Structure 1
């Protein structure tokens, strides 16, 4: 049997090379090949040092995630790394591309590490609800110290080669185009010296650094199990021998691996990649339309944010407004946003000028005639949008894609106002559009396949996570949001308070509850604007000018720093509505709030799937994770329902009189 690993002899240095496209994942065949390669080098007396490198675009980019949950095959990574660690000849890892997860741990088991300037190293397992399970939490603190190790394992962001050298993770940064030669030369320098094993080093305890790290990242880590497990393992590296620390790491790894949080995060990892696929379109045979210039109609918060996505990706944008002052204000905000990012070091200093240099502001729709894609971000009104698309039909060049950023409206009805409905598609960005990752791509009845495929590919280019949705009121996300809001409003009338309902959602892991969200978005959004017409609690709030955070009063009262407190006035308004409706106030349990606000969302998701308005249940999860802040560690509403148990969800829905989706009853949601 041949393995994707070969060896090459350079006099007294053996070079072991992995060539397993696309990312040299540490699958069983690679591990077997590595074991054989090291045995060859260690058993040959004429070999004095060993270099480990990879062909292709990258060093080992991590474990083979497809092996998770399957019976083990071949030598385990622990076995291979242990043999490397104990070797009596110097082993040098020659790193290019990304040394992530198991790849980084493999490099740590080597005695030395050299890297090209463009390389990055990291242990991102925490983002899959796990920890580095092959010694990463034990070797890193011993090599780079507790503070740097915590950042790497409990946050999971990779570090570039230069920083890796500064913290001691990399021994030398070598030539970008001379990695192998430089690594061999470095290995020869180590011949005859004592072999430095990280496992034999001592990690110094730093309780102050641990406490500071917990405090600084408390919000980011809230609700997640894996970060704290990583922290415990790093602490273990400082107070016990290496072998005991490895045992502790393994125990913590298995707890996470068998838990629902890691299952949820691994589900999302695959769901995000699956969402990019369109069931009935073959990417190999579908020719994409070229998108070199984009038109955006509207320079407000949404239009400006949408434009920034394309400008940041190097795509020219023509932005249209009706009035010069609105156009100037919108482009000014865009520049200000770019300059703020540059000031924080998030983008290069020259990036604002580069991006804004690609922008053409105009007051004329006619200037969109040469655009390949035109996106409208105007007022959410069907008549307004249909009139606009009628005009675009006459202005846009043949083959141009016409997209609506509507949140709710019927894309087919909008498309019918043109002579080319096959070129029309929905592109529902989420606010702020230059920050939020989700893009719902709405496929109309007549949307051409190449149009849909082009927009999905373009979404990736502008760093969005795109999900295909069918035409239905609110598409996927907002349609599921609607029953939650309806039930939350009913619960207010029955005796729950805004703060109780919101707390249940925040405790669940949501960034905010329904009434906190209403105050942030604006209680007046969609209000009929007639203060004498008070038909709901929301109408009453809006009529009194309680429009949310922007007015320092909504469902909550706010101080000058926008900190909320329960409002006595809101309590009076709710009580007034309750008495007028002759409704008795009763105690509402937190569990009832879950059953009546979260379970109906799951039910609506199942109905959306039954109607074919979403391709797969995992797409629904992606929408809610990236568009609405559903807690990542719960995997999205459909995955969460499965972990809760469909029977439990169905029972909760039926108890409160909901008509339950058949697939939910049958447990066949897909």
Structure 2
């Protein structure tokens, strides 16, 4: 396939990029553009050139398939291509439809004129990959739309519709349709009018008042950077567009781009980018697997979780049959959903009409018979197997053939739940994270008999409701809660050994987690883990040995909801306050076990907590519970507040070096009385010995 199609429309050469799926600017396409441009410039019959991707798409930017390969930097590189367009002796017009993102927009900025369909999306999202635009975007965009608007666009990485830029030097024309025809017409008009070829590089930016604005912007960007170097690098590059000659600005931009490429933060961001695109793919489920239609959804339970799950589907325009056991509980749940939407309306995110439209999609009911017409039903009831059994036996009796039956369980065995029905092939887990209408993660739990089309449908539905979906196999706690249990155990062991909850939380928060393990436990509710530990001991037929957290629960301290857990909480305030009661309980717990508290460094806190996660993640991967290492990272990034700039636990372990991780784990495992789970996972040992990574 020719990466660039060359056609003539009268005296105008139309160069159409053709590199599916997003016209990624790989080496073949870059070479094709320059070759086609040279042909047009050499043909005396050609008076102007239009560069386009057709009526569907301009370019999504760099070809991610070439990341990390020699082709990504082979000549002509993107700056070479843009220089050729900019220095062309004949008018070059960009015809933009669909997306012009990253290098795609930089390519258009190198043309003399630009026409866009009004619904086209334009943006420079490189900051989200830990980078900055590296082909002149930070120098040309400020000259097209002004420094302030360009800075906001580049630092946020948020794309905008073409209609936003009507009347700026970014776009010469914004049209409703037929963007290629409009570009050809503009090219002919430019020739007829003998217009000067306009190069953005020649635009002079005003300097009056620039220093004060740039310093204000630096302070704002620094405050919002959250451990990522890219936003500040973007800031300085845009500042160069004002303070430096154009070519010097280009030189500095390119140097900053390559410097960022080598940072662990950028490697982490690129890892996450690739992970999100891989997560929805299962090796044994073809991409063309037919999907089951989902036109109506049922939800059991109108409490915090059930209400949040319901809102996901309402937001996507899907009607929901919402079941509760009493009218009082149903009314309370409906009231909470309405208040959530009305609060969104007060913040300007919804109109009053949209609130009513979404509420109108709910069919409240107290009767399971209302589920006869639903295509998918999700239960959000108590985490007890006998309760789940009653629910799924009723669903099996009333739901139509082919309806998907899903559990929102956080821990329980999906295979056992499926066995309560006559259709285990239709059963899976859809584990939402609380608050379900806010949290991005959705764990899709695949039972041993779950049908492939059910998995394909669930993954497609996850996209529709804008979740990051990760597939997990069946085990206690699946990927996320199984790992967090080990993380919590490591934190509990540290507090028994001598650290305070406050020290551990502060050390982990300095590392970058959204919330330390003890504050997180108080927020989630300590009674959840307590119940799980008692259940697992009963299933194993052994006495339950209470942890410190269990001792707190025995005192009725379940966390924020009871006003006390690891911390105490004043009424109506979520501030976590140290509590002498916890100090006394810890001292007593240590004394009963003959433990002399020792001084523990923050570095040891981080190592033990994070390496416990890494080791359990390796076991999850080895057992086939997770399809790929990057899926494990996505779960912890999107469900548990792991710092994005570190890319997830397994990505972080790669950066640390698996040899070093194994060596540290062995030290922990060799300590007197050490838990057996400190022993390095076999997969981790194998990768370290072979000098490989989780990637």
Q: What range is the shorter-chain TM-score in? A: over 0.9
1:199 is aligned to: 201
1:454 is aligned to: 457
- Contact kept? 1:443, 1:452, Cα under 8 Å: yes
Paired residues, what number? 664
Q: CA deviation at 1:217?
A: 5.2
Q: TM-score, normalised by structure 2?
A: 0.90
1:153 is aligned to: 154
Q: Does the residue aligned with 1:369 lie in a helix, a strand or coil? A: helix
Q: CA deviation at 1:414?
A: 1.4
1:443 is aligned to: 446
1:602 is aligned to: 614
Q: Does the residue aligned with 1:283 lie in a helix, a strand or coil? A: coil
Q: CA deviation at 1:565?
A: 4.5
Q: CA deviation at 1:522?
A: 3.1
Take 2:206 and 2:581, find their aligned partners in 1: how far apart are those partners? Answer: 56
- Contact kept? 2:222, 2:232, Cα under 8 Å: no
Q: Bigger CA drift: 50-59 or 213-222?
A: 213-222
Q: Does the residue aligned with 2:308 lie in a helix, a strand or coil? A: helix
Q: Does the residue aligned with 1:556 lie in a helix, a strand or coil? A: coil
Take 2:620 and 2:526, find their aligned partners in 1: how far apart are those partners? Answer: 27
Q: CA deviation at 1:142?
A: 2.5
1:163 is aligned to: 164
Match of 1:389 among 389, 392, 395: 392
Match of 2:262 among 242, 258, 261: 258
Q: CA deviation at 1:51?
A: 2.4
Q: CA deviation at 1:494?
A: 1.6
2:241 is aligned to: 237
Take 1:549 and 1:277, find their aligned partners in 2: how far apart are those partners? Answer: 39
Q: Does 1:58 align with 2:57?
A: yes
Q: Does 1:14 align with 2:13?
A: yes
Structure 1 409/219 Cα, relative in aligned 2: closer, same or farther at 3 Å?
A: farther
1:39 is aligned to: 38
Q: CA deviation at 1:514?
A: 0.4
Q: CA deviation at 1:342?
A: 3.9
Take 1:24 and 1:249, find their aligned partners in 2: how far apart are those partners? Answer: 24
Q: Does 1:427 align with 2:430?
A: yes
Structure 1 535/71 Cα, relative in aligned 2: closer, same or farther at 3 Å?
A: closer
1:663 is aligned to: 683
Task: Write the mapping of 1:174-573 to structure 2, written as runs, cut at 5 A.
Answer: 174=175, 176-191=176-191, 192-204=194-206, 206-216=210-220, 220-284=224-288, 286-347=289-350, 350-525=353-528, 535-539=546-550, 541-542=552-553, 546-550=557-561, 553-558=564-569, 562-573=574-585
Q: CA deviation at 1:349?
A: 5.3
Q: Does the residue aligned with 1:193 lie in a helix, a strand or coil? A: coil
1:116 is aligned to: 117
Q: CA deviation at 1:228?
A: 1.5
- Contact kept? 1:146, 1:209, Cα under 8 Å: no
Q: CA deviation at 1:363?
A: 0.7
- Contact kept? 2:55, 2:179, Cα under 8 Å: no
What are the Cα deviations for residues 13-61 of structure 1, in whole angstroms up to 9, with x where unaligned? 3332223322222122221221123223334455443322222521111
- Contact kept? 2:51, 2:94, Cα under 8 Å: yes
Take 1:319 and 1:378, find their aligned partners in 2: how far apart are those partners? Answer: 13
Q: CA deviation at 1:252?
A: 0.8
What are the Cα deviations for residues 83-102 of structure 1, in whole angstroms up to 9, with x where unaligned? 22223433222211110000
Take 2:6 and 2:402, find their aligned partners in 1: how far apart are those partners? Answer: 53
Structure 1 203/497 Cα, relative in aligned 2: closer, same or farther at 3 Å?
A: farther
Q: Does the residue aligned with 1:665 lie in a helix, a strand or coil? A: helix
Q: Does the residue aligned with 1:113 lie in a helix, a strand or coil? A: strand
- Contact kept? 1:143, 1:203, Cα under 8 Å: no
Take 1:538 and 1:625, find their aligned partners in 2: how far apart are those partners? Answer: 25
2:108 is aligned to: 107
Q: Bigger CA drift: 140-149 or 550-559?
A: 550-559
Structure 1 346/98 Cα, relative in aligned 2: closer, same or farther at 3 Å?
A: farther
Q: CA deviation at 1:483?
A: 1.1
Q: Does the residue aligned with 1:656 lie in a helix, a strand or coil? A: helix
- Contact kept? 2:221, 2:235, Cα under 8 Å: no
1:92 is aligned to: 93
Q: CA deviation at 1:74?
A: 4.7
Structure 1 576/32 Cα, relative in aligned 2: closer, same or farther at 3 Å?
A: same
Structure 1 171/547 Cα, relative in aligned 2: closer, same or farther at 3 Å?
A: farther
Take 2:345 and 2:452, find their aligned partners in 1: how far apart are those partners? Answer: 39
Q: Does the residue aligned with 1:15 lie in a helix, a strand or coil? A: strand
Q: TM-score, normalised by structure 1?
A: 0.93
Q: Does the residue aligned with 2:322 lie in a helix, a strand or coil? A: strand
What are the Cα deviations for residues 199-243 of structure 1, in whole angstroms up to 9, with x where unaligned? 122334534444444555556520112112111211222221111
Structure 1 528/124 Cα, relative in aligned 2: closer, same or farther at 3 Å?
A: closer
Give ranges in structure 2 of 5+ residues lacking alignment. 533-543, 670-677
Take 2:395 and 2:319, find their aligned partners in 1: how far apart are those partners? Answer: 19
Take 1:534 and 1:346, find their aligned partners in 2: how far apart are those partners? Answer: 49
Q: CA deviation at 1:578?
A: 2.8
Structure 1 534/67 Cα, relative in aligned 2: closer, same or farther at 3 Å?
A: closer
Task: Write the mapping of 1:69-88 to structure 2, written as runs, cut at 5 A.
Answer: 69-72=68-71, 73-88=74-89
Task: Write the mapping of 1:628-643 to structure 2, written as runs, cut at 5 A.
Answer: 628-643=640-655
2:538 is aligned to: none
Take 1:568 and 1:239, find their aligned partners in 2: how far apart are those partners? Answer: 57
Structure 1 236/550 Cα, relative in aligned 2: closer, same or farther at 3 Å?
A: farther
Q: CA deviation at 1:461?
A: 2.0
Q: CA deviation at 1:146?
A: 2.3
- Contact kept? 1:19, 1:56, Cα under 8 Å: no
Q: CA deviation at 1:526?
A: 5.3
Q: Does the residue aligned with 1:555 lie in a helix, a strand or coil? A: coil
Q: CA deviation at 1:400?
A: 1.6
2:537 is aligned to: none
Q: Does 1:23 align with 2:22?
A: yes
Q: Does the residue aligned with 1:350 lie in a helix, a strand or coil? A: helix
- Contact kept? 1:18, 1:30, Cα under 8 Å: yes
Q: Does the residue aligned with 1:360 lie in a helix, a strand or coil? A: strand
1:585 is aligned to: 597
Q: Does the residue aligned with 2:603 lie in a helix, a strand or coil? A: helix
Q: Does the residue aligned with 1:14 lie in a helix, a strand or coil? A: strand
Q: Does the residue aligned with 2:70 lie in a helix, a strand or coil? A: coil
- Contact kept? 1:22, 1:56, Cα under 8 Å: no
Structure 1 75/168 Cα, relative in aligned 2: closer, same or farther at 3 Å?
A: same
What are the Cα deviations for residues 443-501 of structure 1, in whole angstroms up to 9, with x where unaligned? 11222222222222222222222222111100001101111101111211222122221
